[in-house]
Chain A
Amino acid sequence: MIINHPLLGPRDAAEFVYLGDASLMDRPDGMTASDEEMHDYMYLRDNPAGEHRELWYHEQGDRSWLVVTRNTLTHEITMVELARDVARSRGRSK
């Protein structure tokens, strides 16, 4: 597979490390989250057959975390974003 890195252009997916569903960015605050919220964050996944937003890390490159939108049936990649931008757009900050 080839991931079109927003800063570096197309790169072989072998340069990256895969983590999983982009929902892993939505970590609740451990001091305020309920047990259920923390459990669901850590363990439950939508696991869709189709479009999937997921986290890839450019370990053999610039060490950016990316959010890649990829179809799990066809492997077609339709969007690649810097995870930091996505995190901010989801309201994460400090």
Chain B
Amino acid sequence: MSQSNRLTGGLIDRSVSVNFSFNGKNMQGFQGDTLASALLANGQRLVGRSFKYHRPRGIFSAGSEEPNALVQLRKGAAQEPNTRATMAELFDGLEATSQNHRGSLERDFMALTDLFAPFLSAGFYYKTFMWPKAFWERVYEPIIRSSAGLGRLSMQPDPDVYDHGYMHCDLLIIGAGPAGLAAALAAGRSGAQVVVADEDFLPGGRLNAETYAVEDMAGADWAAQAWAELQAMDNVRCMTRTTVYGAYDHGIYGALERRTDHLAASEGRPRQVLWRVYSRRAVLSAGATERSIAFPMNDRPGVMLAGAVRTYVNRYGVAPGKRVAVFTNNDDGLRTAADLKAQGVEVTGIIDARKGESLATTWGRKGLTAVGTASGRSIEADCLAVSGGWSPNVHLTCHQRGRPDWREDIAAFVPGADLPPGMSVAGAANGAMTLAAALKEGHAAACAALGDLGLSPAAGDAPKAEDETFDIKAFWHAPGKGRAWVDLQNDVTAKDVKLARTEGYRSVELLKRYTTLGMATDQGKTSNMLGLAVLAEASGKSIPDTGTTIFRPPYSPVAMGAFAGRARGKDFRPNRLTPSHKWAEEQSATFVTTGNWLRAQWFAQAGEKGWRDSVDREVVQTRRSVGICDVTTLGKIDIQGRDAAEFLNRIYSNAFLKLPVGKVRYGLMLREDGICYDDGTTARFSENHFVMTTTTANAVLVFRRMEFARQCLWPDLDVHLISTTDAWAQFAVAGPNARALLGKVVDDLDLSNEGFPFMACAECTVCGGTPGRLFRISFSGELAFEVAVPARYGDAMIRALMQAGEEFGAIPYGTEALGVMRIEKGHAAGNELNGQTTAANLGLGMMVSKKKDSIGSKLSEREEMNRDDGLRLVGLHPVDRNDMLNAGAHFVELDDHHPDMFSDQGYMTSVAWSPELSHSIGLGFVKRGKDRIGDIVRAYDPVRGKDTKVEIVSAHHIDPEGVRQRG
């Protein structure tokens, strides 16, 4: 079988033959073929199976509306399911296989389903498969699932990369058919910034498929010439293989450019680029889609849209059949016959519905052999060209909920008045069904858009063409016995539509959902209009009274990978690195993700068997001597202005007005609804200069809220905010030797307890003149400082600190040890500040000043938030010291044999193994917790099969008096 159906002529390059395979069978085509045209050239009519009945399916169209000819393209990880053969350009080595069958395509075991079709009418599955109950997941659903679906994913990571791009233009022209080209020429010649995009690899639209002339040239030649002119213009971006798939708010369009799908391999180049086009105006010139007619047994391979037949004959030089019959309700059918005859293809009959003729049946199990007319005549045909008229591609006009209008003279919906702002429609998409009209409309639409923008169009008229005739008489559904398909892929027949209506699913939206009409991969492009017409017929109503068909993005399906772009794998989100990251890597630190930050979690040393060894050592050594931790990730906000103190006093729930210069204060921040939001310390460096720290997680949010308060609530307070999180590298230096260590690093500052007491702060220099800041604050509970230097010195600083600490055995510690020490000390962190807890819950109720108005103070006074039996933060110790505690356990009473959500006494928030106490410890919230110190309850953890007796203790497991940090 070597291209037995190839004719002469066409827009393919016969000098380049291309080898490909279908279901393992080797075939040849030419450069410029699609997989569909090449399959037809090779006489391959059966290409797939339908969704529900597994009926044989052939190529139905020549464009992106194809419902039948879906194949799996490529092999291995690049396997691509549900690819339309009509959109797949042929390349050398292309491998395609058919899908959705068991056994071979020719002998699909699942085709037995078709025998049971009477029992599988619309929505049958809603009426059965209910008994016995357990059978749904075990029996029925697995059967349904394995027979449903179409293609298969490879289940391996997509090997290709995808890019995102952004474009700005005065005018976006969607579709480069005659209307689009006329628009692009008018706009391009005027000097406007133009983007013109077409989903085909060959611009020209129907000009490439028909035999019309434009400006006294063959239409395809004129298109090529126009495209060349546009490509030569610097102000015009010409894009083929680019589908504008969606119209979004404010002139933003989404477009998908297929860069390497027509090549054997992408070789590292982006496979596709997802463009976001910011347009000032747009012209939609997306043409029209031909529709079929519902007549009995209209689904056989060989039944094809008439326009597609002309495309294959004229553009690809391929005869879709040797003996072709034509069934039409408009002039296109006659044109099809003429084009076929011109190429020497036999036309065995023309059934013109306008003359009252119709088809009553077809024959041919795996491919059409003959059709039977309503008058009882049988006509031999291996291909039937059907034209039920054309539906303008109004899709993008509906993306912002626009509704199309019905036009009786062309029996089609055309764009309504409520277009997306900035969009106009031209050509067949607008219902201008002749070539001359399309050219004129395209030209006029571009000129009007330019006028709107205050640009003057270049002189000149629309390109000229003969106005051919377009006469149509609506004809949707041929009566007769046998199933008449409305949706070819999903196997929805006219009977199904009528049955659904009978059963009460009368709105077109209910109909679609009940029958699955229009839910196939063609998004209803070939089925919605027919279905609506059949419903209208059954209801005895007109089509516009029955409903409309509207569309949502995308215009045609878009690969998930393209939407995701480069944001995958490790690049899914940015990595924020701390100033000591490189140094930490050198120390073989293990890193943990906190938000987008990567922080050192622990620093394993040789001989340590697991993370606990490292963490315990870091805690012990810090508490025994000195440890250093990068705390740069904490949010830092620089606050300046004459009203800075007043501003802080309103942001924090505790008092800040009287914080002395040179001092730091712990501050508690509420949300306006009275729940604890964030905490941290704020240092006052001068009368009008404060530096705030926030938690790592809330750094951005707190800053945003403070800007809100500053700009929207108190716009005249003299205060300014700058986020300096990334500007300063900050290190905690903690442990009994912290002072001695820092004494070697900090220049000329009295670090004695008197000279620089607990909660002191100062601007200073370090390492002989590097600007720095020093804070005496402690998260670990030890004698501790935090030293900050401009971020660019962060790497040098950690090295200087470690070097200075060598004599003390200073060690770096990571977030785990930090967590252990704060739990030992009883400091609340993210697990306790979970957005659901009040200051009272945290034992910080006294910090909410009632003497002033601050964010959240008023609403924190509501009754349910101040119940005596509310949750209180406490510490927990296992009664059996060998038990390990788990965060997330709930607390229940010892004698509670049937605990439920109402006898629940609280929950464990954080746990750690305390090297100091040599057992597991926890923090948690317990109802009336402060009154229950010393009580024993159970840490109930059924999900991990644990139930542990714990004693309620103070949250301050070590040094409750704070002696060490003040030392």
| Chain A interface (Cβ < 8 Å from any Cβ of B) | 1-2, 12, 17, 19, 24-25, 27, 29-31, 33, 35, 38-39, 42, 55, 57, 59, 63-65, 74-77, 82-84, 87-88, 92-94
Given A30-B858, A57-B704, A94-B716, A84 and B250 touching (CB < 8 A)? no
The reply to whether the CB of B251 lies closer than 8 angstroms to some CB of chain A is yes
Identify A88's interface contact among B672, B716, B852, CB under 8 A: B716
Identify B715's interface contact among A55, A75, A93, CB under 8 A: A93
The reply to whether the CB of B143 lies closer than 8 angstroms to some CB of chain A is no
How many residues on B have C-beta within 8 angstroms of the other chain's C-beta atoms? 30
The reply to whether the CB of B714 lies closer than 8 angstroms to some CB of chain A is yes
Residue of A nearest to B713 (CB): A27
Identify B704's interface contact among A2, A17, A75, A88, CB under 8 A: A17
The 10 tightest CB contacts between A and B, nearest first, are A30-B853, A30-B858, A2-B250, A93-B716, A84-B715, A87-B715, A25-B712, A1-B249, A65-B711, A84-B711
- Give the CA-CA distance A87 to B710 in the complex, in Å: 10
Q: Which residues of B, 241-261, contact A by the 8 Å Cβ criterion?
A: 248-252
Residues of chain A contacted by B643 (CB below 8 angstroms) = 94
- Give the CA-CA distance A2 to B854 in the complex, in Å: 35
| B708 contacts A57, C-beta separation under 8 Å | yes
- Give the CA-CA distance A47 to B858 in the complex, in Å: 24
Q: Please report whether the interface of chain A is mostly helix, strand, loop or mixed according to DSSP.
A: mixed
Residue of A nearest to B850 (CB): A31
| B859 contacts A87, C-beta separation under 8 Å | no
- Give the CA-CA distance A23 to B672 in the complex, in Å: 14
Residues of chain B contacted by A87 (CB below 8 angstroms) = 711-713, 715
A25–chain B nearest beta-carbon distance, Å: 4
- Give the CA-CA distance A53 to B712 in the complex, in Å: 14
Listed A/B pairs (24) with beta-carbon separation below 8 Å: A1-B249, A1-B250, A12-B278, A19-B708, A24-B712, A25-B713, A27-B672, A30-B857, A30-B858, A33-B858, A35-B858, A39-B859, A57-B704, A63-B707, A65-B711, A65-B712, A75-B400, A82-B711, A84-B712, A87-B713, A88-B715, A92-B713, A92-B714, A94-B643
- Give the CA-CA distance A31 to B850 in the complex, in Å: 9
Given A25-B713, A38-B859, A93-B715, A2 and B251 touching (CB < 8 A)? yes
| B252 contacts A2, C-beta separation under 8 Å | yes
Q: Which residues of B, 604-637, contact A by the 8 Å Cβ criterion?
A: none
- Give the CA-CA distance A77 to B249 in the complex, in Å: 10
Identify A64's interface contact among B249, B278, B400, B711, CB under 8 A: B711
**0 or 1 for each of B849-871: is its CB under 8 Å from A? (1 = yes):** 00011100111001000000000
Residues of chain B contacted by A24 (CB below 8 angstroms) = 712
The reply to whether the CB of B883 lies closer than 8 angstroms to some CB of chain A is no
Residues of chain B contacted by A74 (CB below 8 angstroms) = 400
Residues of chain B contacted by A94 (CB below 8 angstroms) = 643, 646, 714, 716-717
Q: Which residues of B, 817-869, contact A by the 8 Å Cβ criterion?
A: 852-854, 857-859, 862
The reply to whether the CB of B904 lies closer than 8 angstroms to some CB of chain A is no
Residue of B nearest to A33 (CB): B858
Residues of chain A contacted by B859 (CB below 8 angstroms) = 38-39, 42
- Give the CA-CA distance A2 to B248 in the complex, in Å: 10
- Give the CA-CA distance A39 to B249 in the complex, in Å: 34
- Give the CA-CA distance A75 to B717 in the complex, in Å: 34
| Chain B interface (Cβ < 8 Å from any Cβ of A) | 248-252, 278, 400, 421, 643, 646, 672-673, 700, 704, 707-708, 711-717, 852-854, 857-859, 862
| B421 contacts A76, C-beta separation under 8 Å | yes
| A93 contacts B713, C-beta separation under 8 Å | no
Most buried by B among A2, A25, A27, A29: A27
| B852 contacts A31, C-beta separation under 8 Å | yes
B657–chain A nearest beta-carbon distance, Å: 14
Residues of chain A contacted by B711 (CB below 8 angstroms) = 64-65, 82-84, 87
| A59 contacts B713, C-beta separation under 8 Å | no
Identify A65's interface contact among B252, B672, B707, B717, CB under 8 A: B707
- Give the CA-CA distance A75 to B760 in the complex, in Å: 52
A62–chain B nearest beta-carbon distance, Å: 11
- Give the CA-CA distance A25 to B713 in the complex, in Å: 6
Residues of chain A contacted by B852 (CB below 8 angstroms) = 31
A14–chain B nearest beta-carbon distance, Å: 10
| Further contacts, 9 of them, CB under 8 A, given A30-B857, A92-B713, A94-B716 | A2-B251, A12-B278, A27-B672, A35-B858, A65-B708, A65-B711, A75-B249, A83-B712, A84-B712
- Give the CA-CA distance A90 to B252 in the complex, in Å: 34
A94–chain B nearest beta-carbon distance, Å: 5
- Give the CA-CA distance A74 to B422 in the complex, in Å: 13
- Give the CA-CA distance A84 to B711 in the complex, in Å: 5
| B716 contacts A59, C-beta separation under 8 Å | no
Residues of chain A contacted by B857 (CB below 8 angstroms) = 30
| A2 contacts B707, C-beta separation under 8 Å | no
B277–chain A nearest beta-carbon distance, Å: 12
- Give the CA-CA distance A2 to B252 in the complex, in Å: 9
Most buried by A among B421, B712, B716: B712
| A75 contacts B250, C-beta separation under 8 Å | yes
Given A24-B712, A94-B716, A38 and B249 touching (CB < 8 A)? no
Residues of chain A contacted by B716 (CB below 8 angstroms) = 88, 92-94
Residues of chain A contacted by B672 (CB below 8 angstroms) = 27, 42
Residues of chain A contacted by B717 (CB below 8 angstroms) = 94
Residue of B nearest to A93 (CB): B716
- Give the CA-CA distance A75 to B862 in the complex, in Å: 37
Given A27-B713, A30-B857, A93-B716, A57 and B250 touching (CB < 8 A)? no
Residues of chain A contacted by B250 (CB below 8 angstroms) = 1-2, 75, 77
B773–chain A nearest beta-carbon distance, Å: 24
Residues of chain B contacted by A64 (CB below 8 angstroms) = 711
Most buried by A among B700, B713, B717, B862: B713
- Give the CA-CA distance A93 to B713 in the complex, in Å: 8
Residues of chain B contacted by A19 (CB below 8 angstroms) = 708
- Give the CA-CA distance A55 to B249 in the complex, in Å: 19
- Give the CA-CA distance A49 to B250 in the complex, in Å: 19
| B707 contacts A57, C-beta separation under 8 Å | yes
Residues of chain A contacted by B251 (CB below 8 angstroms) = 2
- Give the CA-CA distance A65 to B715 in the complex, in Å: 11
Residue of A nearest to B861 (CB): A35
- Give the CA-CA distance A88 to B715 in the complex, in Å: 7
Residues of chain A contacted by B853 (CB below 8 angstroms) = 29-31
Residue of A nearest to B860 (CB): A30
A76–chain B nearest beta-carbon distance, Å: 7
Residue of B nearest to A57 (CB): B704
Residues of chain A contacted by B712 (CB below 8 angstroms) = 24-25, 55, 65, 83-84, 87, 92
- Give the CA-CA distance A64 to B712 in the complex, in Å: 10
- Give the CA-CA distance A5 to B715 in the complex, in Å: 19
- Give the CA-CA distance A80 to B282 in the complex, in Å: 24
B318–chain A nearest beta-carbon distance, Å: 46
B878–chain A nearest beta-carbon distance, Å: 42
- Give the CA-CA distance A1 to B276 in the complex, in Å: 12
| A2 contacts B421, C-beta separation under 8 Å | no
- Give the CA-CA distance A74 to B421 in the complex, in Å: 10
| A2 contacts B714, C-beta separation under 8 Å | no
Residue of A nearest to B717 (CB): A94
| A2 contacts B708, C-beta separation under 8 Å | no
B58–chain A nearest beta-carbon distance, Å: 44
Residue of A nearest to B704 (CB): A57
- Give the CA-CA distance A74 to B402 in the complex, in Å: 11
Residue of B nearest to A89 (CB): B715
Residue of B nearest to A75 (CB): B249
Residues of chain B contacted by A63 (CB below 8 angstroms) = 707
A85–chain B nearest beta-carbon distance, Å: 8
| B708 contacts A42, C-beta separation under 8 Å | no
Residue of B nearest to A25 (CB): B712
B855–chain A nearest beta-carbon distance, Å: 8
Residue of A nearest to B716 (CB): A93
Residues of chain B contacted by A31 (CB below 8 angstroms) = 852-853
A59–chain B nearest beta-carbon distance, Å: 6
Residue of B nearest to A82 (CB): B711
Residues of chain A contacted by B858 (CB below 8 angstroms) = 30, 33, 35, 38
